């Protein structure tokens, strides 16, 4: 059905956002200029992260928010050193018991970026080309955090009552595993979070360049390390080659036994608990705006494993997948060194989907690797450990906030959203859902080609500005439904 044009307050809000869009872009430019990289553990970058946290806190205070900077302690590094973790921002604006309280989660830290990695522009100087705002953090996640702030500041600037009570949880260590955040959520369950009715996360992307999306689930992940050890020291292959079981040969056989060339995981029992596909679910994939050829071309992949949109999306979102990530201890530099590594660690992970069970998966993986290894009769020692177990997340799309977001999307973009899932994991979504036990929604703003974590990361000016309107419209829809 066609969307009706905004009226009254909403029209005023949209006009204000359009008129002030250059100021909003300027603030994003100031934020992108801060190299708030949490991944590289060095003191000067931690100082940048602290500066970034200060900028965001000041911005929230200027809106009239009550801001708490919660001390998050120190990160212990493997070399014995420690680095400060930036404080986590807990902020709130309004506490009217007649209004719903919506809590926004976002992060201020970014992935590392150096111009020589293949950026055309300086990654820390926001540069606009053809309506694309290039710069590290523009889409992940400074742009979306600011879009939420822009929406709030618009009501403030127009001297209009905020339709909802707003809370913010903004951290600076997401790209490094959200150190200290889960502990804080547990600690504040009965405090800061006790009045929260809804949680919104905008830290993923649409599946399309033009059609907005609402995300209703993500995969989880189980991460494994398989170590094969002969001794702690490397060998010379001229001196030892031919007379011992080489750890790399064992490891390559182990890793080679995990998945076949059609992408099927070869671990016995691994698909046993995967939820069956229903007819209703199948229809949801048909409706999604995805041009397979365009997707394939823009990904620079010659051929995907699946050739229909439905099959491709299902294998990205609702089936498990196994990826091999790397080998620690292997010779990987250029040149031809004749080494036999004495000890190697293979790293792989399995993306988990409903209703897979993390400890069952762990057992199946260990049993399978034990079996493959035992068949080799190797004298080496194999040790398998699961270092990370993250559950998949499924939204309740019948919650009021999903309805409100759908209506707001229709008003701003004139279209129904793609109801998507995400193949990666945003661990905090499940943690919020389990701990706070309130509705969690993922409402992405960025387009599929934004290149998060990659060179030439960008957010389109259109997505950033319409995204700011979307949040404002969402506040009003939430108030109507309450």
Ligand X SMILES: NCCCC(=O)N[C@@H](Cc1c[nH]cn1)C(=O)O
Strands 101-107 and 198-201: parallel
Q: Is 175 annotated as a binding residue?
A: yes
Q: Which of 104, 79, 111, 89 is nearest to 177 (CA)?
A: 111
Using CB distances below 5 to 8 A depending on partner kind, what does residue 448 bind out of ligand X, Zn ion, none?
A: none
Query: Cα–Cα distance between 156 and 118 in angstroms, integer?
Result: 41
CB nearer ligand X, residue 110 or residue 372: 110
* Interface with ligand X, residue 361, by CB under 6 A: no
Q: Which of 365, 289, 261, 277 is nearest to 317 (CA)?
A: 277
Q: What is the DSSP string of 163-226?
A: SSEEEEEEES-GGGT-TTHHHHHHHTTTTGGGG--EEEE--SB-SSSSS-EEEEEE-EEEEEEE
For the bound state, the minimum distance from the C-beta of residue 23 to ligand X, rounded and expressed in Å, comes to 28
Applying CB under 6 A, among 221, 378, 411, 439 the residue interacting with ligand X is 221
CB nearer ligand X, residue 119 or residue 224: 224
Environment class of 200 (CB within 10 Å of its CB; exposed 0-12, middle 13-18, buried 19+):
buried
Q: Is 37 annotated as a binding residue?
A: no
For the bound state, the minimum distance from the C-beta of residue 204 to Zn ion, rounded and expressed in Å, comes to 8
Applying CB under 6 A, among 426, 429, 431, 445 the residue interacting with ligand X is 426
* Interface with Zn ion, residue 140, by CB under 5 A: yes
Structure tokens at 179: 């150190």
CB nearer ligand X, residue 63 or residue 173: 173
Size of the site for ligand X (CB under 6 A): 9
* Interface with ligand X, residue 424, by CB under 6 A: yes
* Interface with Zn ion, residue 321, by CB under 5 A: no
Q: Which stretch binds ligand X (CB under 6 A): 52-60, 81-89, 248-256, 418-426?
A: 418-426
Using CB distances below 5 to 8 A depending on partner kind, what does residue 316 bind out of Zn ion, ligand X, none?
A: none
* Interface with Zn ion, residue 203, by CB under 5 A: yes
Structure tokens at 246: 């080489």
3-state class (DSSP) for residue 395: coil
Buried b (16+ CB within 10 A) or exposed e, 365-391: bbebbeebbeeeebebebebebeeebb
Q: Is 122 annotated as a binding residue?
A: no
For the bound state, the minimum distance from the C-beta of residue 444 to ligand X, rounded and expressed in Å, comes to 8
Residues carrying an active site annotation: 109, 174
Q: Which stretch binds Zn ion (CB under 5 A): 7-15, 127-135, 197-205, 278-286?
A: 197-205
Spell out the residues 6+ positions from residue 285 whose beta carbon is closer than 8 angstroms to its own: 309, 310, 313, 314
* Interface with ligand X, residue 449, by CB under 6 A: no
Applying CB under 5 A, among 141, 150, 165, 433 the residue interacting with Zn ion is 141
Q: Is 107 annotated as a binding residue?
A: yes
Element (H, E) at 69: strand 66-70
For the bound state, the minimum distance from the C-beta of residue 437 to Zn ion, rounded and expressed in Å, comes to 24
Query: Cα–Cα distance between 474 and 148 in angstroms, integer?
Result: 10
Query: Cα–Cα distance between 309 and 291 in angstroms, integer?
Result: 8
For the bound state, the minimum distance from the C-beta of residue 305 to Zn ion, rounded and expressed in Å, comes to 25
CB nearer Zn ion, residue 17 or residue 113: 113
Query: Cα–Cα distance between 331 and 338 in angstroms, integer?
Result: 9
x/- mask, ligand X, residues 180-219, rule CB under 6 A, reads: -----------------------xx---------------
Q: Is 399 annotated as a binding residue?
A: no
Half-sphere exposure of 16 (CA within 13 A, CB side): 20
Segment 260 to 319, residues that bind Zn ion, using CB under 5 A: none
Cα dihedral sign, 264-268-274-279: positive
For the bound state, the minimum distance from the C-beta of residue 218 to ligand X, rounded and expressed in Å, comes to 8
3-state class (DSSP) for residue 251: helix
* Interface with ligand X, residue 37, by CB under 6 A: no
Which residue(s) pair with 340 in the sheet? 235
CA gyration radius, the chain = 24
Q: What is the DSSP letter of 265?
A: B
CB nearer Zn ion, residue 37 or residue 140: 140
Q: Which stretch binds ligand X (CB under 6 A): 108-116, 257-265, 378-386, 424-432?
A: 424-432
CB nearer ligand X, residue 138 or residue 425: 425
Angle between helices 21-32 and 461-481 (to 10 degrees): 110
For the bound state, the minimum distance from the C-beta of residue 447 to Zn ion, rounded and expressed in Å, comes to 15
For the bound state, the minimum distance from the C-beta of residue 409 to ligand X, rounded and expressed in Å, comes to 19
Strands 213-218 and 418-422: parallel
Buried b (16+ CB within 10 A) or exposed e, 398-417: ebbbbebbbbbbbbbbeeeb
Cα dihedral sign, 120-124-129-131: positive
Q: Which residue's C-beta sits nearest to ligand X?
A: 424
* Interface with ligand X, residue 390, by CB under 6 A: yes
Using CB distances below 5 to 8 A depending on partner kind, what does residue 109 bind out of Zn ion, ligand X, none?
A: none
CB nearer ligand X, residue 93 or residue 447: 447
Using CB distances below 5 to 8 A depending on partner kind, what does residue 141 bind out of Zn ion, ligand X, none?
A: Zn ion
* Interface with Zn ion, residue 171, by CB under 5 A: no
User: Annotated binding site for Mn(2+), which residues?
Assistant: 107, 140, 175, 203, 453
What does the binding site for ligand X look like in residue numbers (CB under 6 A)? 203-204, 221, 223, 388, 390, 424-426
What does the binding site for Zn ion look like in residue numbers (CB under 5 A)? 140-141, 203
């Amino acid at each position: 059905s066609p969307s009706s044009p905004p009226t009254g307050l909403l029209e005023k809000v949209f006009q204000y956002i359009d008129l002030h869009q250059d100021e909003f872009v300027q603030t994003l430019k100031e934020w992108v200029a801060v190299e708030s990289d949490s991944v590289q553990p060095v003191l000067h970058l931690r100082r940048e992260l602290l500066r970034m946290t200060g900028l965001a806190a000041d911005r929230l205070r200027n809106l009239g928010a009550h801001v708490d900077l919660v001390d998050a302690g120190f990160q212990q590094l493997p070399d014995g050193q420690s680095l400060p973790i930036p404080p986590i921002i807990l902020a709130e604006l309004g506490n009217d018991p007649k209004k719903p309280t919506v809590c926004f989660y976002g992060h201020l830290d970014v992935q590392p970026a150096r111009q020589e990695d293949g950026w055309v522009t300086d990654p820390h100087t926001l540069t606009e080309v053809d309506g694309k705002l290039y710069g590290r953090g523009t889409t992940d996640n400074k742009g979306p955090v600011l879009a939420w702030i822009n929406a709030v500041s618009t009501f403030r600037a127009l001297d209009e009552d905020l339709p909802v009570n707003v809370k913010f949880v903004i951290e600076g260590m997401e790209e490094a595993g959200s150190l200290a955040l889960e502990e804080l959520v547990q600690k504040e369950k009965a405090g800061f979070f006790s009045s929260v009715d809804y949680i919104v996360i905008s830290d993923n992307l649409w599946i399309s360049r033009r059609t907005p999306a609402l995300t209703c689930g993500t995969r989880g992940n189980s991460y494994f390390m398989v170590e094969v050890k002969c001794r702690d020291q490397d060998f010379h292959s001229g001196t030892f080659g031919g007379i011992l079981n080489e750890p790399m040969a064992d490891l390559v056989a182990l890793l080679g036994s995990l998945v076949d060339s059609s992408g099927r995981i070869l671990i016995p029992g691994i698909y046993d608990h995967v939820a069956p596909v229903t007819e209703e679910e199948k229809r949801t994939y048909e409706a999604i705006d995805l041009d397979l050829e365009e997707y394939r071309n823009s990904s620079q992949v010659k051929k995907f494993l699946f050739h229909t949109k439905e099959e491709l999306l299902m294998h990205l979102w609702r089936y498990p997948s196994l990826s091999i990530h790397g080998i620690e201890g292997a010779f990987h530099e250029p040149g031809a060194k004749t080494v036999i590594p004495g000890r190697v660690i293979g790293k792989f992970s399995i993306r988990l989907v409903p209703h897979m069970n993390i400890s069952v998966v762990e057992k199946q993986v260990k049993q399978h690797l034990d079996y493959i290894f035992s068949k080799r009769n190797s004298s080496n020692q194999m040790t398998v450990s699961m270092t990370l177990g993250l559950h998949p997340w499924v939204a309740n799309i019948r919650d009021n906030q999903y309805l409100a977001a759908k209506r707001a999307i229709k008003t701003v973009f004139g279209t129904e959203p793609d109801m998507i899932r995400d193949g990666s994991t945003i661990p905090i979504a499940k943690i919020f859902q389990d701990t706070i036990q309130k509705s969690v929604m993922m409402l992405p703003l960025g387009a599929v080609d934004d290149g998060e974590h990659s060179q030439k990361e960008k957010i389109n000016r259109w997505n950033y500005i319409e995204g700011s309107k979307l949040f404002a419209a969402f506040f009003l829809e939430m108030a109507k439904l309450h």
